[in-house]
Amino acid sequence: MAEAIFKRLCLIGIGLIGSSIALRARRDRLAETIVVQTRRKETLEKAKARNLGDVYTDSVAEAVKDADCVILCIPVGAFSQVGERMGPHLAKEAIVSDVGSVKRSVIDQLRPHLPDHVHLVPGHPIAGTEYSGPEAGFTTLFDERWCLLTPDAGADADAIQRLTAFWKALGSYVDVMEPDHHDRVLAVVSHIPHLIAYNIVGTASDLEEITQSEVIKFSASGFRDFTRIAASDPVMWRDVFLHNKDAVLEMLGRFSEDLSALQRAIRWGDGDLLFDHFTKTRAIRRGIIEAGQETDAPNFGRYTIED
* Direct distance between the N- and C-terminal alpha carbons of the chain, in angstroms, rounded to an integer: 39
Could you say which residues in the range 18-57 bind ligand NAP, by CB under 6 A?
18, 38-40, 43
What is the closest distance, in whole angstroms, from the C-beta atom of residue 235 to ligand NAP in the complex?
6
What is the closest distance, in whole angstroms, from the C-beta atom of residue 153 to ligand NAP in the complex?
24
Q: Is 125 among the residues that bind ligand NAP (CB under 6 A)?
A: yes
Q: Is 75 among the residues that bind ligand NAP (CB under 6 A)?
A: yes
Residues paired with 9 in a beta bridge? 34, 69
Could you say which residues in the range 195-234 bind ligand NAP, by CB under 6 A?
233
Listed residue (62, 60, 12) closest to 36, CA to CA: 12
Q: Which helix (H) or strand (E) holds 66?
A: none
Task: Using DSSP, state whether 195 is helix, strand or coil.
Answer: helix
Q: Which listed residue (110, 236, 247, 251) binds ligand NAP by CB under 6 A?
A: 236
Residue (164 or 172) nearer to ligand NAP, CB = 172
Listed residue (307, 306, 282) closest to 296, CA to CA: 282
Select the span of 11-19, 27-35, 83-91, 193-201 touching ligand NAP (CB under 6 A): 11-19
Contact 132, 239 (CB under 8 A): no
Residue (14 or 248) nearer to ligand NAP, CB = 14
Contact 103, 121 (CB under 8 A): no
What is the Cα–Cα distance from 17 to 271, expressed in whole angstroms? 44
Residues paired with 56 in a beta bridge? 36
Q: Is 11 among the residues that bind ligand NAP (CB under 6 A)?
A: no
What is the Cα–Cα distance from 137 to 100, expressed in whole angstroms? 16
Q: Which listed residue (57, 65, 133, 178) binds ligand NAP by CB under 6 A?
A: 133
Maximum separation of any 2 CA atoms in the chain, in Å: 67
Residue (140 or 265) nearer to ligand NAP, CB = 140
Listed residue (287, 300, 293) closest to 220, CA to CA: 300
Task: Using DSSP, state whether 251 is helix, strand or coil.
Answer: helix
Q: Is 70 among the residues that bind ligand NAP (CB under 6 A)?
A: no
Number of residues near ligand NAP (by CB under 6 A): 28
Residue (125 or 179) nearer to ligand NAP, CB = 125
Torsion of CA 40, 27, 177, 226, to 10 degrees: -60
What is the Cα–Cα distance from 118 to 114, expressed in whole angstroms? 7
What is the closest distance, in whole angstroms, from the C-beta atom of residue 36 to ligand NAP in the complex?
9
What is the closest distance, in whole angstroms, from the C-beta atom of residue 133 to ligand NAP in the complex?
5
Q: Is 132 among the residues that bind ligand NAP (CB under 6 A)?
A: yes
What is the closest distance, in whole angstroms, from the C-beta atom of residue 50 to ligand NAP in the complex?
13
Q: Is 73 among the residues that bind ligand NAP (CB under 6 A)?
A: yes
Where do contacts with ligand NAP occur on this chain (CB under 6 A)?
13-18, 38-40, 43, 73-76, 78, 82, 99-101, 124-125, 128-129, 132-133, 233, 236, 240
